[in-house]
Structure 1
Amino acid sequence: MRTPAVAHDNAPGHGGHAKPAPVSVVVPCFRCAATIDDAVATIAAQSLRPAEVLLVDDGSGDDTLAHLHRVAATHEPGWVKVVALTANGGPSRARNTGWQQAEQPYIAFLDADDSWAPRKLELQMAALDADPEIALIAHPMIVRKRGSAFPALRSRVRTQIVGRRRLLLHNPFPTASVVLRRDLPLRFDESFRRSEDFLLWSQIVFSGYRCARINQVLAIWNRRADGASGLSDDLAAMRRSNHEARHKLMRQGLLSRPEYEFTRAVSVLRWTRRDLMLRLRQQGPYRPTPA
């Protein structure tokens, strides 16, 4: 049965309030000096600014930590807090560390090379005010060249509840789109360096928590510079991690055997299509040989 959407007008609400949003923003940082200024700038530009920002240096081992302190010094004292990990533990550990040290009732996540639209938190907090039972709320994201403008908002902002069937098909919660309750008893699995977000969101939804998605693009994955790469670029490792995440959900009793087999089949089809599209792009356009 389709869950009715929660709709509200596309008009400034929280944005006019001086009081900050009760949100702690957690940003895992690994050798991110080239992008972190832009990421924090999109947090500072929020129409409803969060109460605090935690930049977690994940054992970068270069000048990243010093750069994070310089970023913090450009804002009002105490708004940006720098947390230093002595060794690289991956994004799960960095996010969990920031989550543990956060002081606000809600946690938002942003990666150091992504960007937020100015009204992201305003619209998400309005949806949470309208439905306080929501434990996690997200929205769509798009890939754009760094510095690109955000798409215009749709004329009507709608919030749709997301059920378990949606998670069986794909991950509807991009990490940089998520705002969730700090008091949730679940955390990122630190043994996963890929698919850790899908695993956590699935655990939350399959455990019965109310989760939702706004119908607006409110964040951008910035296209990487030529030659740059990240954890998600290793497609074979991503495929293995997705399989391991689904298997763990089944072992935890959150996914039945039929659901596991269904999601596995869907995943095989999706990855096969992705591999085919990648090969076609690499080959370039077809040009028939002249007779």
Structure 2
Amino acid sequence: MNNQKNLVSIVTPVYNSEKYIKDTIKSVLSQTYTNWEMLIVDDCSIDETASIIAQFKDPRIRYIKLSHNSGAARARNVALENINGKFIAFLDADDMWKPDKLETQLKFMLDNNYAFTYTAYEIIQEGDNKLINVPNKLSYSQFMKNTIIGTLTVMINTEITGSIRLVDVKKDHDSMTWAKLLRSGYTAYGLNESLAYYRKVSGSISNNKIKAALNHWKNCRNIERLSVCKCAYYFIFYAANAFKKHLF
């Protein structure tokens, strides 16, 4: 594996993330694969997030502060406008990676010339872990029935896909971005090996499943332009799979 050629740019949006951001950064610093840069975009935090990030002196960590609060999609897109690597990985401010995450997934991509991959991961909540296994590949229609791709596990080779921008909606922008990539003809390939920890935080937007489901419906209609019948068809499977994924 040519380390100099295969720089991985890690995209991390933060907003009032003082509770967990230290663990998130430490999980990146612990990676066995060392040719990475981490772009942390601060969406106008008003807590101690910035001072905690400043404690880490590693030159691979780059901190960008937005001038006004714009939401996670905009923060991620600002990071994407400033990356140097051809590989992109995503890690939110309350999630963590296992030490071999980058090395294992990058090898998986290079060995198979994949453009878009994801892995299994574990949901952690109050000390309990739940393993989320993943299928070995997903087409557009399969993904719309089961949005099982964890953003914290995604890696994209932009040398194949071209530059990436997140769909700029306030909620569910990651799923809509993966849908857009798949709709354009790419297949997402899954590595069914747990390489990350998704922290389920009470009160977070993603933790409110009814609102998340309604947002997903709206986005499928307004962004994906699906008919009511097609949207309802996908939504039945989506809801059932989401329930299984988050049921502890």
Q: Shorter-chain-normalised TM-score: which range?
A: 0.7 to 0.9
* Structure 1 residues 42 and 258, CA gap change in structure 2 (3 angstroms): same
1:26 is aligned to 11
Q: CA deviation at 1:49?
A: 2.2
Compared CA separation, residues 91 and 214, structure 1 to 2 (3 A): same
Give the equivalent residue in structure 2 for 1:41: 26
Q: Is the 8 A contact 1:137 1:180 kept in 2?
A: yes
1:135 aligns with 2:111: no
Superposition deviation, residue 135 in structure 1: 1.9
Distance 1:28 1:167, change over 3 A: same
Shift of 1:106: 1.0
2-structure distance, mates of 1:96, 1:146: 31
Matching residue's letter, 1:30: Y
Are 1:188 and 2:162 an aligned pair? Answer: no
Structure-2-length-normalised TM-score: 0.85
Question: Cα–Cα, structure 1 residues 40 and 79, in superposed 2: closer, same or farther, change >3 Å?
Answer: same
SS in 2 for 1:86: coil
Matching residue within 139, 158, 169 for 2:145: 169
Structure 2 counterparts to residues 222-261 of structure 1, below 5 A: 222-224=199-201, 228-251=202-225, 255=226, 259-261=230-232
Aligned residue type for 1:204: L
Per-residue CA deviations over 1:46-99 (Å, capped at 9, x if unaligned) read 11124211111111133322322222x2x2xx2100010122211111111111
Q: Match of 2:117, SS?
A: strand
What's the CA shift for 1:220?
0.7
Mapped to 2, the partners of 1:70 and 1:236 lie a distance apart of 38
Partners of 1:124 and 1:87 lie apart in 2 by 35
* 1:53 equivalent in structure 2: 38
Query: Which is further off, 139-148 or 62-71?
Result: 139-148
Equivalence map 1:59-98=2 (5 Å): 59-71=44-56, 73=57, 75=58, 78-98=59-79
Contact 1:31 1:64 in 2 (8 A): yes
Give 3-state SS (helix, strand or coil) of 1:209's partner.
Answer: coil
Paired position in structure 2 for 1:211: 188
Distance 1:129 1:186 in 2: 19
CA gap 1:20/1:159 in 2 versus in 1, 3 angstroms: farther
Distance 1:130 1:19, change over 3 A: same
CA apart distance, 1:150: 11
CA distance in 2, matches of 1:27, 1:62: 17
Per-residue deviation at 1:259? Answer: 3.5
Distance 1:172 1:50, change over 3 A: farther
- Alignment coverage as a number of residue pairs: 244
TM-score normalised by L of structure 1: 0.73
Q: Percent identity?
A: 22
Note closer, same or farther for the CA distance 1:42–1:149 as it changes in structure 2 (3 Å cut): farther
In structure 2, stretches of 5+ residues that fail to align are none
